[in-house]
Chain A
Amino acid sequence: MDVKPGVSRHLLAAFCALVLCAGCARQDGSGPAGTPGIVLTYWPAPNPQEILLADTLVALWNRLHPGIRVDMQPIPVSISTEEVLLAAIAGKTTPDVCSNIWPGALHDYTQAGGLVRLDDFPDFDSLMSLRTPRELLDRFRVGDGHFYEVPWKSNPVMMFCNMRLLREAGVDRVPATYGEYLAAGEKVAAHRYAGAAEAVWMGDRDVRPIWWQRLFDFYPFYIAASGGRTLFTAGSPSFGDSAAAEVFAFFRECYGRKYFPRTFFQGGDPFLLGKKATHFSGPWEVASIRKFAPQMEFAVGPVPVPDDHRGPVYTYGDYKNISIFSTTKHPKEAWEFVKFLVTAEHDLLLLGICDQIPVRGDLLENPLFAPYFRGNPAMAEFARQAVYTRGMDDAPDLKEIFDGIAQEYEACAVYGRVTPARAIGDAMGRTALIVEWNR
C-alpha cells in the first residue's frame, strides 16, 4: 500500500497527539453521568484474601458514592511493604489511603511528613471511642501527641498445637509455661527417638538472623514474660532485664535439648505437614490449616511464659493500620473512605474473608460477630487474646535494633555460644550504639 509522505506524517502526528492526550488525561475521572468527580487511590496488602476484601469494599463504596470513586491497587509486591511505602513517599507517588501500615515504620513516615494527622478530623475521637478501647488506642499516639493511623486489625501471635502429635507423645494439654513446654518437648523428642513413623519436632523457628523473624519468637515471648512491656520505656531502650534473659534461656534450652532443629525446613510449612507439634503464628494460620491440612486436630493457646508468671499473658499484636498520605488532594473524602472501611459490618467482612482480628473492643459482645465466632472457635481465642496485645514502640531504627537482637538470639539461643545474660547485655550495648550513631 502506498501512502503519501504527507499523509503518513499527518497520521503519525495524530497518533502522537492521541498518545499524549491519553498520557496527560487527569486522574480525577468523572461521575457516572460524565460529571467531574473525585478519585481516591487505595492500597491494600497484596495477599489474595485482602485483595478480595478490598475488591468487595471498593465495589460497595463506588456503588454508594458515585461522586467519589476509589481505585484499588494492591501494594506493589516487594521484600517489604515498608520499603515500597518509603520509596513511594520519596517519589511522592503514595496513594490516598493505605491499609497495611506497620506501626514500627510509622516513625519514618511521620518524620518524612508523609501522613495526614487523623485527630484533626472532628469525628476522629467519636469514631475511635466506639471502636477501640482507650487504653489500647493511646498506644498508637506518636511522640508529638497525635494520631496518624486508625488501628485496623491485629494478628496476635499465639501458639498452635497439633494435638494428635502431642497426644501420641503422651501430652494431653496445651503447654502454658516454659516448664510445661520443655516437659512436652522431652516427650515429643523421646517419641521421635523411639522410632516414630516420621521425625517430629516440638517446634522450630527460622534460624537465620533476619530481624523480622524475631517478631514471632523473641518479641512476643518478651512481651509475655515481662507482663506487657515493649523494647522502650519513656523513649529509652529498656529490654535488658531478666524477662529477656529468661526468653533467651528458654529458646536456648529448646535448641540445646534438640527440641527445635538447628536448620530450616524446605518444601512447605512443617506445621501443616505434621512435622512439628507447636507453631507460633497469627490467626491467618487458621485459614491455612483449613485449606492445606483440614484433617489436623489443633488447639490455640497463649505463648508460654516463665513458670512463676502471674496475671494475663500479653503478646505481640502484629497490627496493620490505616493511614492517609499527605499527598492526597482530598483528605476529607479519604477520611470518609477510612471510616467506611472500619464499620462493624466491614469488620465482619475482614473476619470472614481474611480471618484477621479487627481492633475492636466489642468483638466478643457484639451480636453481629457472634455467629462468626461460634463457627470459628479458634478465632475466638485470638479475639480474646487481642485485648492483651502490644505493638511497636514509636522509635526510630527499630529494624536495626531487632537486627541486633536477632544476632544475639542466634548466638545465644540457637548456637549456645554466649550466656543469656551476656547476649541480652550485648544486644542492649548494640542498641545503645545504634541510638547513639543515629541521634
Chain B
Amino acid sequence: MTRLGDIVRGVRGSDRGAYWFILPYVIFFCAFVAYPLLFSLVLVFNRWNIVTPMEWIGLKNFDRLIGDALFYRSLLNTLTFLVIHIPLQVVVALALALLLNTGVRGRGLFRALYFLPVVVSGVAVTILWQQMYSFDEGILNSILHATGLPSVPWLVDPRVAMSSIAIMATWKNVGIYIVLFLVGLQNIPRELYEAASLDGARPFTQFRYVTLPMLNPTIVVIVVLSTIGGFSLFIEPYVLTGGGPMQSTLSGMLYIYNQAFSFGHMGYAATLGFVYALVILGVVVLQRRVIESEIPT
C-alpha cells in the first residue's frame, strides 16, 4: 500500500504534461497488446468460432493439444527450420558483413542490394521464389539442367522442402543481420587487432579470438531475433507449400492460422499460441546460456 501511495504521490508531484506525451502509446498498448493478450488468455479456456457465443470448456483445449499429432509435427517442423535457418543466417550474414567491412569498392551499393529483400513485401518475395523453385520451369532447375545436373524437387519432396524455405527466408532477411554485424564489427577497437598481430596471430586466429568474442553480444541478438522470427514462419509455407509435402513444412504459425481462421477454433488457436510463446521463451533462454558459455569473452 505504501508503494502504491509512493507511486501516486510521484505521479502527482511530476510534470503532468509529460503524461499526455505517453498517452498515445499507452492507448496503443492497451488496445493492441494488453487487451488482445488478455482476451486470448480468456480464449484458452473457451470454445469460440467468432460468430456463436463463447462456451467455457475449462482445460479441454490443453487436453486436445496433448493428443494432437499435428501440434507435435508443427513444433518439430519449426525446430527443424530453426536448426537449418539460424546457422545459415548467421554464417551468411557474418561472411557478407566481413566482406563489406573491408575496403571493397561499391560497398554502399552492395549494402543496399542485400537490404532490398528486407523491405520488399514477403508475399511478393515468396511468389518470386515460387517461380524460381518450380520443378519444371523454374530458373534454378533450368540452371542445374544446363550444367548436366538433375533437377531438384525443391518444394515437392518432403526431405527438401523445409531446406528450400530456409534458404528463401535467409535470402529475405540476411540484409538486416548484415547491418547488425557491420555495427558490431565497426565497434571492435583496432588496438585489439594490432596487439594480436604483434603477438603473431594470423587472420583466422584473429577472427577466432578477437572478432568472434567481440561480436558475441551481436551474435546473441541475431540468434534471438532469428529464433523469434523463425517461430513466426508463416508466409513462406502458406504461399509456397500449404504446409506440405507430407506436412513437412507445416509450421507452428501456419497451424495456428489454420485452426483460427480456416477452421474457426479460436480457443484452440489461442492455446497453441500460448504454448508456442512458452516454447520460444525456453529456447531463447537456452540459446543465450549456450552461446554465452561457448564463445569466450
Could you tell me which A residues sit within 8 Å of B by CB distance? 83, 86-87, 89-90, 108-109, 111-112, 114, 199, 207-211, 261-263, 265-267, 397, 399-400, 403, 407, 410-411, 414-415, 417, 433, 437-438
Asked if B50 and A207 make an inter-chain contact with CB atoms under 8 angstroms apart, the answer reads no
Residue B261 interfacial (CB < 8 Å): yes
B246 within 8 A of A: yes
- Considering the complex of A and B, which 6 residue pairs feature the smallest CB-CB distances, nearest first? A112-B51, A208-B242, A263-B135, A209-B244, A400-B263, A266-B134
Determine the chain B residues whose CB is within 8 A of the CB of A399 once the complex forms: 262-263
User: Given A263-B136, A266-B137, A407-B247: A90 and B242 within 8 A (CB)?
Assistant: no
**Interchain CB contact under 8 A, B135 and A410:** no
Q: Give chain B's interface secondary structure class.
A: loop
Question: If the complex has contacts A114-B51, A261-B136, are A208 and B244 also in contact, measured as CB distance less than 8 A?
Answer: yes
Closest to A437 in B: B64
Which chain B residue shows the least CB distance to A414?
B245
The answer to whether B134 and A403 touch across the interface, beta carbons within 8 angstroms, is no
Give the docked Cα–Cα distance between A211 and B155 (Å).
Answer: 18
Residues in B neighbouring A210, C-beta threshold 8 A: 242
Given contacts A86-B51, A90-B51, A111-B52, 12 further A-B contacts (CB under 8 A): A83-B261, A89-B51, A90-B50, A208-B244, A209-B243, A262-B156, A263-B135, A265-B134, A266-B137, A267-B137, A407-B247, A415-B246
Knowing A265-B136, A417-B246 are in contact, say whether A207-B156 is a contact too (CB < 8 A). Answer: yes
Q: Which residues, 79 to 120 on B, are CB-close (under 8 Å) to A?
A: none
Q: Mark B62-73, 1 if CB is under 8 A from A, else 0.
A: 001001000000
Inter-subunit contact A209/B242 (CB<8 Å): yes
On whether the beta carbons of B245 and A415 are closer than 8 Å, the reply is yes
B64, A211: Cβ atoms closer than 8 Å? no
B241 lies within 8 A of A211 (CB): no
Residues of A within 8 A of B52 (CB): 111-112
Q: Is B216 an interface residue (CB 8 A)?
A: no
- Residue in contact with B246 in the complex, picked from A83, A266, A411, A438, CB distance below 8 Å: A411
Residue of A nearest to B250 (CB): A209
User: Of B156, B258, B262, B264, which contacts A108 at CB under 8 A?
Assistant: B264
A86-B264, A400-B263 given; A263·B245 CB < 8 A: no
**With an 8 A cutoff between CB atoms, is B122 at the interface?**
no
- The contact string, 1 if C-beta is below 8 Å from chain A, for chain B 217-259, is 0000000000000000000000001111111000000000010
Q: Shortest beta-carbon distance, A407 to chain B, in Å?
A: 6
State the CA gap A89–B49 with chains docked (Å).
11
Q: Count of chain B residues with Cβ under 8 Å from any Cβ of A? A: 32
Option from B130, B156, B258, B265 in Cβ contact (under 8 Å) with A438: B265
* Chain B 129-147 near chain A by CB (<8 Å), digits 1 or 0: 0110011111000000000
| Interface, chain B (partner A; CB < 8 A) | 47, 49-52, 64, 67, 130-131, 134-138, 153, 155-156, 158, 241-247, 258, 261-265, 268
Given contacts A87-B50, A265-B136, A415-B158, contact A207 B131 (CB under 8 A): no
In the complex, A400→B131 CA distance in Å?
29
Taking CB atoms, residues of chain B closer than 8 Å to A265 are: 134, 136-137
CA distance A415 to B160 in the complex (A): 14
Instruction: Verify A211–B262 contact, CB threshold 8 A.
Output: yes
B245 touches A207 (CB 8 A): yes
CA A153 – CA B8 in complex, angstroms?
67
Rounded to whole angstroms, the CA-CA distance of A399 and B155 in the bound complex is 24
B242 and A86 within 8 A (CB):
no
Per the bound structure, the CA–CA distance linking A87 and B99 in Å amounts to 51
Contact A209–B134 (Cβ < 8 Å)? no
Write out the residue numbers on chain B whose beta carbons fall within 8 Å of the beta carbon of A415. Answer: 158, 245-246
Interface pair A403/B258, CB less than 8 Å apart? yes
CA distance A414 to B47 in the complex (A): 35
A-B contact pairs, 6 of them (CB 8 A): A108-B264, A265-B134, A266-B138, A400-B265, A403-B258, A415-B245
CA distance A87 to B266 in the complex (A): 13
* Residue from A90, A209, A211, A263 within 8 A of B153 (CB atoms): A263
Shortest CB–CB separation between residue B56 and chain A, in angstroms?
Answer: 15
Chain B residues near A417 (CB-CB < 8 A): 246
**Interfacial chain A residues near B153, Cβ < 8 Å:** 262-263
Contact between chains at A108 and B51 (CB < 8 Å): yes
Q: B156 to chain A: which residues have CB within 8 Å?
A: 207, 262-263
A87 to B156, CA, bound (A): 34
Using known A-B contacts A111-B51, A414-B245, determine if residue A266 contacts B131 with beta carbons closer than 8 Å. Answer: yes
Residues of A within 8 A of B263 (CB): 397, 399-400, 403
Q: How far is the CA of A108 from the CA of B261 in the complex (A)?
A: 13
Nearest Cβ in chain B — how far from A200, in angstroms? Answer: 12
Chain A residues with CB under 8 Å of B137's CB are 265-267
Residues from chain A with a CB closer than 8 A to the CB of B135 are 261-263
- Report the Cα distance A263→B131, complex, angstroms: 12
- CB of B48, distance to nearest CB on chain A (Å): 10
Give the shortest distance, in Å, between B87 (CB) and chain A (any CB).
28
Contacts of B51 in A (CB 8 A): 86, 89-90, 108-109, 111-112, 114
Closest to B263 in A: A400
State in angstroms the CA–CA spacing of A262 and B29 once bound together. Answer: 47
Cβ contacts under 8 Å, B247 to chain A? 209, 407
Cβ–Cβ < 8 Å partners of A397 in chain B: 263
Rounded to whole Å, the gap between the CB of A285 and the closest CB of chain B is: 22
For the complex, what is the distance from the CA of A265 to the CA of B133, rounded to whole Å?
11
Bound Cα distance from A438 to B241, whole angstroms: 27
Check A263–B134 contact: CB distance below 8 A. Answer: yes
Question: In the complex, which residues of chain B have a beta carbon less than 8 angstroms from the beta carbon of A403?
Answer: 258, 262-263
With CB as the reference atom, state the residue of chain B lying closest to A433. Answer: B67
Residues of A within 8 A of B49 (CB): 86, 108
Given A89-B51, A108-B51, A114-B51: A207 and B244 interface contact (C-beta under 8 Å): yes
Report if A410-B246 is in contact (Cβ < 8 Å); known contacts: A111-B52, A208-B241: yes
A415 CA / B47 CA spacing, docked (Å):
35
Q: Determine the chain A residues whose CB is within 8 A of the CB of B67 once the complex forms.
A: 433
